[in-house]
């Protein structure tokens, strides 16, 4: 093997090594970028869930307050009706209008939790605390 052959082999090896390093770095960068995008989507979804949960909490807090603000109550009710599924919107309407067959407020909260968190959510009506206004 001559010196020229040896230099040519060294150059080829160095070139292959550089190409492999660039490819590996590119793959690593894309993998990290993908992971950060996934985490950002998860975080954004969690924020959306919290925002929607706040709407329902404020709606029921306003509805149970005395006296309540009809304008604010309408705003919260209508906002919730834009994203809740039809069966929960109907249950919510029945509860807010105090219909005879209306589900309990806590039952609706559990339904909304399952809608937001998924069917694996195991919070029950008994787990939700509700304070009554003091009498007197």
Residue 64 has phi, psi (to 5 degrees) of: -85, -10
- Predicted pLDDT at 123: 95
Question: pTM of the entire structure?
Answer: 0.72
How many Å separate Cα 51 from the centre of its chain?
9
Element (H, E) at 22: helix 3-64
At 84 the pLDDT is: 95
- For the chain, what are the domain ranges? 3-127
pLDDT tier for residue 4 given thresholds of 50, 70 and 90 = confident
Measure the CA–CA gap between 95 and 36, rounded to whole angstroms: 42
Question: CB under 8 Å to 128, separation ≥6 — which residues?
Answer: 106, 109, 110
Instruction: Write down the pLDDT at residue 136.
Output: 61
Reported as a single tens digit per residue, the pLDDT across 68-108 is: 899 999 999 999 999 999 999 999 999 999 999 999 999 99
Per-residue confidence (pLDDT) for residue 135, from 0 to 100: 72
Cα–Cα distance for residue pair 100/96, rounded to 1 Å: 11
pLDDT digits (tens, 9 = 90+) for 120-135: 999 999 999 988 777 7
Task: Give the separation between CA 59 and CA 75, rounded to whole angstroms.
Answer: 9
How large is the average pLDDT for residues 9-24?
92
């Amino acid at each position: 093997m001559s010196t020229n052959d040896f230099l040519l082999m060294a150059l080829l090896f160095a070139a292959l090594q550089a190409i492999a390093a660039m490819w590996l770095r590119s793959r690593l960068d894309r993998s990290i970028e993908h992971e950060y995008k996934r985490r950002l989507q998860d975080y954004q979804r969690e924020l959306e869930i919290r925002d929607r949960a706040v709407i329902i909490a404020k709606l029921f807090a306003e509805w149970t307050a005395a006296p309540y603000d009809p304008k604010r109550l309408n705003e919260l009710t209508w906002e919730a009706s834009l994203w809740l599924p039809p069966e929960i919107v109907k249950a919510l309407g029945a509860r807010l209008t105090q219909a005879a067959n209306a589900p309990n407020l806590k039952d609706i909260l559990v339904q909304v939790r399952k809608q937001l968190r998924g069917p694996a959510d195991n919070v029950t009506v008994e787990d939700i605390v509700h304070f009554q206004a003091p009498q007197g």
